[in-house]
Amino acid sequence: MLLLSLTAALLANTFSAQTPAAPDRVEHLKRDAIQNVEARATSTQQMVDQIFSFAELGFQETESSRYLVALLRRNGFTVQEGVAGIPTAWTATWGSGKPVISLGSDIDGIPQASQYPGVACRLPMVDGGPGHGEGHNSGLPVVITAALAVKDLMQRERLPGTIRIWPGVAEELVGTKAYFVREGLFRDADVALFAHVDDNLAVNWGDAEGTGLVSALFSFQGRSAHSAGAPWRGRSALDAVELMNIGWNYRREHLRLQHRSHYVVQNGGDQPNVVPPTASVWYYFRELDYTRIQELFALGDTIARAAAQMSGTTLASVRILGTAWPRHFNKPLAEATYQNIKRVGLPTWSEADQTLARSLQRELGVPDSGLNRRVDSLRPPIPPDDRRGGGSDDIGDVSWTLPTITLRFPSNIPRLPGHNWANAIAMATPIAHKGATAGAKVLALTMLDVLLKPDLGTSAWTYFRDVQTKTIKYQPLIRPDDRPAVELNTGIMERFRPSLQRFYYDPTRYKSYLEQLGVTYPTVRRSDGACPAPTPSATSAR
């Protein structure tokens, strides 16, 4: 406790030692930052398109990371690779002294979400292949564009401060941020500004919508035998998996409505005439707070052990593959960001952008309201009784470690299902590009607020200490011996990478990825019902 208050005092001192900048100087620098981000629109577009074309799944973001690390090194950042024992994770640092601004965004794709961008009907680029069906290809371009713009101003004005950028590796597996926290990635950071794709410019504070979770793989060990010749000599590990799932599904009715749980069978045996000696099932246990998440996980463990007893097998291992704390965002930082959101406003959408959006909405059977034209309001915390399930993001672990916000930016189309090919359609089109530029402007302005107004950092920490963590203290959901599940998705990426490589974006030859693919923007379903394939020009055939 003494150590905590000492740290807090030191941090408070760090901020109060800085002299606040005069309001007209802040204003002047903010105008320059907006211009600087605008001048970077082409480089932002290239980053968005490039990462889209790599289409890499969690823990296998090798091309995306190689590309971004090289780009950041060219721009003067010092990069440390392989952080926290994760091959595709890195930190890129520039500048010196306080404040230290930590900037992050996710980078991984979704299985089976391969889809031609700019085409408002189902048209995979690689059949069965992964794709950016969440839009994570746009987040680091937002962060990097903002960072480079602010770095220019810091150099020009000789402003002290450190910028540190990191990728949200394997966010779809909620697989890394708890390890980043354990590794001490945020130990010297004053604030964390995180960016995530959305269909609007938005920010919120307090308890966010959604859940935290434990993701765990239950592996059973049985005994093989000839399934017809001597089935009585075998003990099926698949039986244990099925009994666990049946048990869980009966128990599900008696769980809180706020919970969410789901599973996939990862190994169900090899062939029917061999009694499966091994089998495994992968569960996500989601709830609203640390204690309830742990209770749900413990219940899963009990049911798994019972299933093993019933089937005469053993529960060989329970491996944690990912975890996430529920998210709670910082009030002063969110309020400052919201002022910048109002100032920047939404991009000007073209008729082509709106046609793509409305056609896709009709395709999916949802109201065809098109793209948003008004910025979202500053969302206060969701009242406890209104919190019902929802997704997770391991930025939650970061948000309980230091003052954090997530800036959501308008690079996607409203009313999409999420984790789906439809969510990839806008993500390498002018919608994504303009949305990323708008997001980068807001982020750059908020970085300037942190650099130039020390009071903001002080009040962010006061809220973090005296309100957010007054009674709830962060404790990791990962166990001391857990290690990042870096081998996940290896097989899928080995299988699809050769096909994906044919589609990697080459910005030296094509102004945009749509041009390289030969996609007419926007492409919509024809009146005869066909989803038209692009017609690559002679030069785009590789």
Residues that bind Zn ion (CB under 5 A): 134
Tell me how far, at minimum, the Cβ of 390 lies from Zn ion, in Å: 13
Question: Is 305 exposed, middle or buried, given 0-12, 13-18 or 19+ CB atoms closer than 10 A?
Answer: middle
In the complex, minimum distance from the CB of residue 171 to Zn ion, in angstroms, rounded to a whole number? 5
Q: Whose Cβ is closer to Zn ion: residue 134's or residue 394's? A: 134
CB of 287 to Zn ion, least distance (A): 20
CB of residue 237 to Zn ion, shortest distance in Å? 33
Decide whether 395 or 448 has the Cβ nearer to Zn ion: 395
How many other β-carbons are positioned within 10 Å of the β-carbon of residue 24?
Answer: 8
Residue nearest to Zn ion (CB): 134
Taking the least distance from each CB to Zn ion, the nearer of 61 and 134 is: 134
Question: For Zn ion, which is the closer residue by CB, 180 or 464?
Answer: 180
Within 8 A by CB and 6+ apart from 412, the residues are 135, 197, 198, 199, 423, 426, 427, 431, 432, 435
Helix (H) or strand (E) holding 346: none
Task: Say if CB 299 and CB 281 are below 8 A apart.
Answer: no
- Please name every residue paired with 278 in a beta bridge, in sequence order, or none if there are none: 221
Shortest gap between Cβ of 324 and Zn ion (angstroms)?
Answer: 11
Which C-beta is closer to Zn ion: that of 178 or that of 238?
178
Shortest distance, position 187 Cβ to Zn ion, whole Å: 25
Altogether, the residues listed in the chain come to a count of 542
Smallest gap from residue 106 Cβ to Zn ion (A): 5
Q: Structure tokens of 72? A: 């950041």
HSE on the CB side for 47, CA within 13 Å? 28
Alpha-carbon torsion 282, 283, 284, 290, what sign? Answer: negative
CA pair distance 405, 395, nearest whole angstrom: 9
Q: How many Å from the N-terminal Cα to the C-terminal Cα in the chain?
A: 62
- Nearest approach, Cβ of residue 311 and Zn ion (Å): 37
Minimum distance, C-beta of residue 307 to Zn ion, in the bound complex (Å): 32
Asked if 417 contacts 360 with a C-beta cutoff of 8 angstroms, the reply is no
- CB within 8 A of 156, min separation 6: which ones? none
Choice between 404 and 458, CB closer to Zn ion? 404
Q: Which is nearer to Zn ion, 100 or 485 (CB)?
A: 485
Q: Which is nearer to Zn ion, 174 or 451 (CB)?
A: 174
Contacts of 497-502 with C-beta under 8 Å, sequence gap 24+, read: 499/126, 499/129, 500/53, 500/54, 500/55, 500/126, 500/129, 500/130, 502/542
Neighbouring C-alpha atoms within 13 Å toward the C-beta of 83: 25
Q: What is the widest separation between alpha-carbon atoms in the chain?
A: 86
Region of 97 on the Ramachandran plot (φ > 0 left; ψ -120 to 50 alpha; else beta): left
Nearer to Zn ion, 236 or 406 (CB): 406
Gap between the Cα atoms of 112 and 314, Å rounded = 33
